[in-house]
Amino acid sequence: MEIGLNVIGFGKPASAGRSSGRPFLILCLYLYYEQQVVCFEEVNAMILPTMTYKEMYDHLAADKQKVEIKKEYLLPKAVKAFKKRMKFPAWEIYDYTIPSTNNKYVIYFYAESRARADKPEVGSCCVVQDEEQRYFVEWIAGGYKHTPNQPISLIRQLHVYEPHFLVRYNERFWNDKSLSLKEIVCRYMARNHNPMPIQVNEGINRNHKKYGKNGQQAFRVRDGLCFTRCYLDGEISPDGDREKDRVDAMCIIFKTYVSKSEMPDEQKQAVDKEHFIELKRFAEDVHKQAKDGVITLTLER
């Protein structure tokens, strides 16, 4: 059955900075997390790691128009560079700082082959620096289920790529010591659309229990498997009823990466099994919720 998607909301319910690639309906996750109480602020400030996830998402959404304008401005320059390239796939990467907020972005253009030189994929992510290290942040409005009985809802999502994750991705996939972190993150983002969330078990990672309830999800992507930590912003219901919890935003932190080539057969089989389970559950949820072949999802302010 083909399902249509009707989105009501603000900001960017699609591609986390990409003008092509992943659909906004990220597969549902049945997650059981501790949550934080958050507050709401005026939008027009620099992105800070001390913000709540909802605040960070809303600030990034407010930057959308300016980032899109910059992409359009840089596109002819990137296409011109691609036409001179002899080897593909190829990337063109640019830094951009929004003057009014001082938010820093990396904008990339990606041509997987010469045939795509005139119409490269375009994407971006925000660069966030704390006292210790630099992070690269995508923002996505994605599907979510807080409990199995609830319908799919649309919530704010931040995908945060840590330096360690990017170093491991480069070591285990590209093996190119000349690449900078921003070059690595752009390569990852351009190649790995539509991440499939799967539940981690002993077959996938025998040490998974030591990471606690926030470390029980991984994402299967084109290039391999990403291990993550997932956290929520919102408010826990005073009576302890999870059906009444308010979920404002989700933050998924990408911690480390394993390539397909280094997985033993048993691990690959465990990943395949969990992939099938999650895909089946997602299909059942979508079929149950669709009305006349359409699901309407609203991003709440």
Per-residue model confidence as pLDDT tens digits over 264-296: 999 999 999 999 998 888 888 888 888 877 777
Q: Token pair 């809303």 is at which residue?
A: 58
pLDDT digit string, tens, across residues 197-227: 888 988 888 878 777 777 788 999 999 999 9
Tokens standing for residue 139: 């923002």
Q: Average pLDDT in the 5-22 region?
A: 38
Assigned domain for 244 exists: yes
pLDDT band at 49 (very low <50, low <70, confident <90, very high): low
**Cβ atoms of residues 301 and 54 within 8 Å:** no
Which is higher by pLDDT, 297 or 263? 263
Q: What is the pLDDT of residue 26?
A: 39
Q: Average pLDDT in the 45-57 region?
A: 76
When divided into structural domains, the chain yields a total of 1
Assigned domain for 142 exists: yes
Expressed as residue numbers, the domain containing 31 is 4-79+95-110+124-298
Among 53, 49, 41, 3, CA closest to 24? 3
Assigned domain for 90 exists: no
Q: Where are the alpha helices (DSSP H) in 84-196?
A: 163-169, 181-191
Q: Where are the alpha helices (DSSP H) in 157-199?
A: 163-169, 181-191
Q: Average pLDDT in the 180-193 region?
A: 94
Cα–Cα distance, 298 to 250 (Å, whole number): 16
**For the ranges 36-40, 93-97, 208-212, 243-247, the one whose mean pLDDT is highest:** 93-97
Q: Average pLDDT in the 170-192 region?
A: 95
Assigned domain for 118 exists: no
Assigned domain for 84 exists: no
Q: What is the pLDDT of residue 256?
A: 94
Q: Average pLDDT in the 174-185 region?
A: 95
Among 169, 220, 172, CA closest to 195? 220
Which is higher by pLDDT, 164 or 50? 164
Q: What is the pLDDT of residue 36?
A: 31
**Cβ atoms of residues 175 and 186 within 8 Å:** no
pLDDT band at 43 (very low <50, low <70, confident <90, very high): very low
Cα–Cα distance, 110 to 119 (Å, whole number): 9
Q: Average pLDDT in the 110-119 region?
A: 94
Q: What is the pLDDT of residue 236?
A: 82
Residue 42 has pLDDT above 50, yes or no: no
Among 9, 56, 35, CA closest to 247? 35
Q: What is the pLDDT of residue 269?
A: 95
Query: Quick check: helix, strand or coil at residue 238?
Result: coil
Assigned domain for 116 exists: no
pLDDT digit string, tens, across residues 139-172: 988 888 888 888 888 889 999 999 999 999 999 9
**Cβ atoms of residues 96 and 71 within 8 Å:** no
pLDDT digit string, tens, across residues 119-133: 999 999 999 987 778
Assigned domain for 215 exists: yes
Among 103, 104, 121, 99, CA closest to 112? 121
Assigned domain for 75 exists: yes
Average pLDDT, the chain: 82
Handedness of CA 266, 272, 276, 277 (dihedral sign): positive
**Cβ atoms of residues 8 and 298 within 8 Å:** yes
Residue 7 has pLDDT above 50, yes or no: no
Which is higher by pLDDT, 126 or 20? 126
Q: What is the pLDDT of residue 170?
A: 97
Among 72, 26, 77, 4, CA closest to 193? 26
